[in-house]
Structure 1
Amino acid sequence: MSTLPRSNRWSSMRQRMSRRSLLRSAGAAGVGLGGIALVGCGESEEEPGETQPAGGGGGQTPASGGGSPGAAPETSGEPVRGGTFRYAQSGEPPHLDISGVLSFGLHSPVAAIYSRLVRTVWPSEAEHRGDFTIMPDIATEWENPDLQEYVFHVRPDAHWHNLDPVSGRRVDAEDVKVALDHYRSEGAHQGAFSPVEEITTPDDSTVVVRMTEPFALFMETVSNAVRHIFAREVLDRPNGLDEAPVIGSGGFIFESFQRGDRLVATRNPDYFMPDLPYMDGYEFKFIPDAATRVANFRAGETDYLGLASWDAVQEVLETNPDAVHEEGIPGHSVFLPAMDMRSAPFDDERVRRAMSLAFDRRTLIDSLYSGHGIWGWGVPWAFAQDEVWTEEQLPWARFEPTEAKKLLDAAGQGDGFDARMNFFAYTELMESEIQLFQADMLTNLGINIQLSPMEYAGWFETYTGRNWGAEMAWGFQIGTSSTTDEFMYQNMHSTSPANYYFINDPEIDELTVRIRQTAELEERQEMVRQVHAIDQEMVYRLPSPYANGHALISPRVHGWQPPLVYRGSVGYGASALTQFWLS
């Protein structure tokens, strides 16, 4: 496997634009390969190499975006060694125990310190945005004689970092067994490992995992970006995993962690992937204030800046015109209005359909996202097809308030009703989304949604405990969902504790179990499409718009590529830092 960046991988999706072209066409939209909006856009005047956008503007299609206004990334030439990558993220690790939390605040800065048993492709290795190809990591080979047994062969050249108490010894099968057993017995990963019956190690290079029943999705489980393998000795420390130093076998070695400041890592000269990493190290700064993060990037103190909107991108490009812009259309809406469907009026699909038809998603996308967002859905398109869901696959997401009123009348709720909705607003933008939804329901249907803001801890506990004390919640699916099983069985089966939306549909139950037991990809994709169709037709979750992701990257950074579905170059995909290089 090549370790070099693929310089032409998505070249048609990352084109250079002039500032004049940008300002003329800020509202244009484009959907490119796999649904990602990363094409250059212009009206009638194209620069060499530009491509015209496909699709309409202003949120008029289920997924809309405006292209890449910044400079195109320079990925040609030979990688060079040296330099430190600097990144500022909004959240910091609550602690260092990777088994106890799924938060990006922890898993982003440590991802390139650890290795996984196997991993999914990095963006530079992907064939398309929905590419979930499994790659070797600690295991170089694997086989599954049947869907109840998986056998992994540990590579001979993987070593723990040269830190006490492991002192650079070889990674062996017992380490893998201890890590996976720990995940399935306690902490935040237990649900993902519920199908596992037993893990054995016939020798120091072989790990055998047995399932309680046929489970075709275990490779997805262990390739998840938060499933790091750790040395067994760390569990014997006084604070176990929640103790410095963080010890892994990845491309970078933990150097320091200062709460409220940063986590620092340096190059691992003994990494098992030849020639990698190129950089001397990285720093993850913890800066909760968005304005401070912008100021840091503008001053050249950080190399990567996540932004909430297209407008924010344009503002920073005024001072940093050479920065590279990356934009990705989400795989799904992380947050969706949740209804307690166990009782009236939300147990009536006519009420739910009416509410969906009365929600003006296009106006929300235009007004809050400058036309850069999706209409919203719960089932990710990438697990079923190569492009985003079409308008025909979102039958109740159109805006038809007159038809909505007729449906509410037919359900015996023509005068509207009152409902209380709990929420925690992660951002000011999210609070605006909630308020626009509230206004649409009142204006178009007479439904008076009384908003009940909560502190994060109380909201999270009552929501995930499915004990809301209210008829509605501005809810979410499993926060780090990135596998078929998490989005299907764990989020939607009637008996799953992570089914926060109270979905209770026998057909969905049957399909999500069959998906778990189906090895053939095309068959699985067809069943995912069926689950999506039922979810949409019954409106078990009200589709809610979600903003495209935006980031600006310093022109000195090379080797990155546009983000994949649920994996980028930072955040949960930060192990990809291993193949970055700096000019």
Structure 2
Amino acid sequence: MTKLDWRQLVTGLGACAVLGMAATSVSAEEPKHGGTLRYGTVSEVVSLDPHVYGGSAWKVLIEALYSPLVGYDKTGKIVPRLAESWEQPDARTVVFRLREGIAFQDGSPVTADDVKFSLDRLLDPATGATLRSNLQDATVTVIDDRTVQVQKASSDATLLSVLALPEAAIVSRKWVESGVNLKLQANGTGPFMLKAYEPSVRASLERNPKYFIKDQPYLDGVDFRMIKSDDARVNALRSQSLDMIDFVPWKDIDVLSRNAAFKIDTAGGAFMSLWFNATSKPFDDPRVRRAIAYAVDRDAISKAAFFGHGKAITGAPTPEDSPYFNADLEGTYKRDVAKARALLAEAGHANGLDMSMLVFQGLGIYTATAQIVQANLKEAGINLKLEPVEWATLVERKNRGDYQSMIYGVSVKLPDPDAYAYYIGADSSYWAKPIGYQDKELEALLAQGREQTDVEARKPIYHKVEQRILETSPWVFVNWREQAQGYSRKVQGYQQLGGALSESSPGISLPTMWLK
């Protein structure tokens, strides 16, 4: 068997964006142990199940509490986590060798049987796991107590990249089968242990003395406070009742950046989009979805909702520095109200139509974006009713398909162009199922791309993928947005990442963060 080269796999959507990361907060001082980081996050965490995605704050918590077999470091490189090494004998197989002597936080040893149980749990439809569709048809085989093989039915260039995501966390079989509630309790191998948890309110973590990386973490603990109000989060940072906040409101980025007491790190990689329930009329008709795509004023949203910290997406959401970027698709959806009205008439809505849209009311960018979209659609003959909801309600209604349309901000989840399959591929997937979109032509193209391991051979396939997505518009891509984390100058060791890792920046940084 040949040793796996991570560089062959961490390619594609967002991978190159990682190279353009924001500057790290580097200190000449040696890191110091001790202290509790007080972290304010906008999104509410309602479940700690490590296999079912629950928002950006959920992801940070899961990365702190659990570990996958491999993970990403601050450069975007795939590095060892629970596995000390891995080999790839062919393009559909990875063999992992576990570290010796690692244990869960309850003291029980981590074995290959726990790995198999965890990945089989991901594949079980009853779990509702986020990565189920990515790992579908995978077979997990225990070779010995420290060796496990993961094999797909056919070549899959994304396999290792998927297994490096936090959602592929390894759990204790004995602990889970004892009947614990994974939504409220945690027993992982991460740098921190769960001390207390109040859903939607706060989570307190303490240092895991058995963490497998020597001397890490530096912090004694992390206190997560879930604060949905933009102004309340910023005021808590200013008053020093918090050390760090996520999602610095876009209206405050420039002001806080000029304050010497704080550091504001920004990076790209996240974007805003409009989602439709394709099982609900009139959104089962791609002409209606395309009409909305033409009606939206992306430049106005970037300027007004994001205070200039945004950039219109008129083609596909692939960064310009990605090897898969297709310049000829730029300008596909420039604002054209006449074309929007013509498509609506062609779809049988010459007299206009009424529709509703879920809007997360915790972030100002959602409300401002919704109001601009509402005005845009009015000009095209569409009466849009806005439904402001809490984050937990939005996720719940999304997951059960109880909506007509919604605004959703996402980052590219996978450093590979197969990320499209993650979101709008097979209808059985965690992300794709709620939108009810199915397209056999797109599915065939995504399967072709997944089976190819050569970048040059994959490029024309993903060009066709993006063409098909723009033709059918299951989502309307609105704009890239800069994402900012704000923190006190005493917080050291943090780095805001770009591209596919933007959402994981706090989780990746936490073990090496310290308080000055």
Where on the TM-score scale, by shorter chain, does this alignment land: which range? 0.7 to 0.9
The one-character-per-residue Cα deviations of 1:204-224 (angstroms, maximum 9, x if unpaired) are 110112334443322122111
| 2:293 corresponds to which of 351, 356, 362 | 356
Q: Residues of 2 paired with 1:503 and 1:260: CA distance?
A: 31
Q: Residues of 2 paired with 1:388 and 1:514: CA distance?
A: 15
SS of match in other structure, 1:545: strand
Alignment of 1:327-366 (within 5 A): 327-333=266-272, 335-338=273-276, 340=278, 347=285, 349=287, 352-366=289-303
Tell me, yes or no, if the aligned pair for 1:355 and 1:404 is still in contact at 8 Å. Answer: yes
AA in 2 matched with 1:474: M
Q: Give the alignment's TM-score, normalised by structure 1.
A: 0.73
SS of match in other structure, 1:548: strand
Alignment of 1:105-116 (within 5 A): 105-116=57-68
Please report how far the alpha carbon of residue 159 of structure 1 lies from its aligned counterpart in structure 2 after TM superposition.
2.8
Percent identity over paired residues: 22
Larger Rg: 1
Tell me, yes or no, if the aligned pair for 2:243 and 2:488 is still in contact at 8 Å. Answer: yes
Tell me, yes or no, if the aligned pair for 1:326 and 1:550 is still in contact at 8 Å. Answer: yes
Tell me, yes or no, if the aligned pair for 2:277 and 2:284 is still in contact at 8 Å. Answer: yes
Please report how far the alpha carbon of residue 154 of structure 1 lies from its aligned counterpart in structure 2 after TM superposition.
0.5
Is 2:396 the counterpart of 1:438? no
Q: Residues of 2 paired with 1:457 and 1:86: CA distance?
A: 22
Please report how far the alpha carbon of residue 331 of structure 1 lies from its aligned counterpart in structure 2 after TM superposition.
4.0
AA in 1 matched with 2:38: R
Q: Residues of 1 paired with 2:174 and 2:196: CA distance?
A: 20
| 1:473 corresponds to which of 376, 388, 405 | 405
Q: Please name the residue that 1:62 is paired with.
A: none
Tell me, yes or no, if the aligned pair for 2:262 and 2:488 is still in contact at 8 Å. Answer: yes
Q: Please name the residue that 2:514 is paired with.
A: 581
Report the CA distance shift for 1:423/1:273 in structure 2 as closer, same or farther (over 3 A).
Answer: same
Q: Please name the residue that 2:70 is paired with.
A: 118
| 2:175 corresponds to which of 234, 240, 243 | 234
Please report how far the alpha carbon of residue 279 of structure 1 lies from its aligned counterpart in structure 2 after TM superposition.
2.5
| 1:534 corresponds to which of 468, 493, 496 | 468
AA in 2 matched with 1:171: V
Q: Please name the residue that 2:99 is paired with.
A: 155
Tell me, yes or no, if the aligned pair for 1:108 and 1:571 is still in contact at 8 Å. Answer: yes
SS of match in other structure, 1:563: coil
Unaligned 5+ residue runs, structure 1?
1-32, 40-67
Q: Residues of 2 paired with 1:114 and 1:231: CA distance?
A: 11
Moved more, 183-192 or 455-464: 455-464
Tell me, yes or no, if the aligned pair for 2:271 and 2:410 is still in contact at 8 Å. Answer: no
Alignment of 1:29-178 (within 5 A): 34=17, 73-121=25-73, 123=74, 126=75, 131=76, 133-161=77-105, 163=106, 167=107, 169-178=108-117
Tell me, yes or no, if the aligned pair for 2:114 and 2:172 is still in contact at 8 Å. Answer: yes
Is 2:358 the counterpart of 1:423? yes
SS of match in other structure, 1:216: coil
Tell me, yes or no, if the aligned pair for 1:264 and 1:281 is still in contact at 8 Å. Answer: yes
Q: Residues of 2 paired with 1:494 and 1:580: CA distance?
A: 38
SS of match in other structure, 1:553: strand
Please report how far the alpha carbon of residue 263 of structure 1 lies from its aligned counterpart in structure 2 after TM superposition.
2.5
Q: Please name the residue that 2:322 is paired with.
A: 386
Q: Please name the residue that 2:8 is paired with.
A: none
Tell me, yes or no, if the aligned pair for 1:396 and 1:537 is still in contact at 8 Å. Answer: no
The one-character-per-residue Cα deviations of 1:48-89 (angstroms, maximum 9, x if unpaired) are xxxxxxxxxxxxxxxxxxxx9xxx834334323333222112
AA in 2 matched with 1:271: Y
Report the CA distance shift for 1:398/1:523 in structure 2 as closer, same or farther (over 3 A).
Answer: same
Aligned residues: 496
Moved more, 301-310 or 339-348: 339-348
Please report how far the alpha carbon of residue 379 of structure 1 lies from its aligned counterpart in structure 2 after TM superposition.
5.4
Is 2:221 the counterpart of 1:277? no
SS of match in other structure, 1:235: helix
Please report how far the alpha carbon of residue 106 of structure 1 lies from its aligned counterpart in structure 2 after TM superposition.
3.5
Query: What CA RMSD, in Å, does the superposition of the two structures yield over aligned residues?
Result: 3.7
| 2:159 corresponds to which of 211, 218, 235 | 218
Report the CA distance shift for 1:146/1:378 in structure 2 as closer, same or farther (over 3 A).
Answer: farther
Alignment of 1:258-273 (within 5 A): 258=198, 262-273=202-213
Q: Please name the residue that 2:312 is paired with.
A: 375
AA in 2 matched with 1:83: G
Q: Residues of 2 paired with 1:218 and 1:269: CA distance?
A: 31
Please report how far the alpha carbon of residue 345 of structure 1 lies from its aligned counterpart in structure 2 after TM superposition.
8.5
Q: Please name the residue that 1:511 is paired with.
A: 445
| 2:242 corresponds to which of 293, 302, 307 | 302
| 1:195 corresponds to which of 136, 144, 152 | 136
Q: Please name the residue that 1:205 is paired with.
A: 146
- Bigger relative contact order, structure 1 or 2, given CA contacts below 8 A and separation 6+? 2
Please report how far the alpha carbon of residue 399 of structure 1 lies from its aligned counterpart in structure 2 after TM superposition.
2.8
Q: Please name the residue that 1:180 is paired with.
A: 119
Moved more, 340-349 or 412-421: 340-349
Q: Residues of 2 paired with 1:494 and 1:217: CA distance?
A: 16
Please report how far the alpha carbon of residue 137 of structure 1 lies from its aligned counterpart in structure 2 after TM superposition.
0.6
Tell me, yes or no, if the aligned pair for 1:224 and 1:483 is still in contact at 8 Å. Answer: no
Q: Residues of 1 paired with 2:339 and 2:329: CA distance?
A: 19
Is 2:425 the counterpart of 1:493? yes
Report the CA distance shift for 1:426/1:260 in structure 2 as closer, same or farther (over 3 A).
Answer: closer
Q: Give the alignment's TM-score, normalised by structure 2.
A: 0.82
Moved more, 185-194 or 474-483: 474-483
AA in 1 matched with 2:97: H
Tell me, yes or no, if the aligned pair for 2:359 and 2:386 is still in contact at 8 Å. Answer: no
Q: Residues of 1 paired with 2:285 and 2:199: CA distance?
A: 46
SS of match in other structure, 2:477: coil
Alignment of 1:397-408 (within 5 A): 397-401=333-337, 407-408=342-343
Tell me, yes or no, if the aligned pair for 2:206 and 2:220 is still in contact at 8 Å. Answer: yes
Please report how far the alpha carbon of residue 545 of structure 1 lies from its aligned counterpart in structure 2 after TM superposition.
3.1
Tell me, yes or no, if the aligned pair for 2:262 and 2:486 is still in contact at 8 Å. Answer: yes
Please report how far the alpha carbon of residue 410 of structure 1 lies from its aligned counterpart in structure 2 after TM superposition.
8.2
Q: Residues of 2 paired with 1:138 and 1:84: CA distance?
A: 26
Report the CA distance shift for 1:76/1:552 in structure 2 as closer, same or farther (over 3 A).
Answer: same
Q: Residues of 2 paired with 1:218 and 1:292: CA distance?
A: 41
Q: Residues of 2 paired with 1:490 and 1:396: CA distance?
A: 23
Tell me, yes or no, if the aligned pair for 2:326 and 2:463 is still in contact at 8 Å. Answer: no
Report the CA distance shift for 1:387/1:554 in structure 2 as closer, same or farther (over 3 A).
Answer: farther
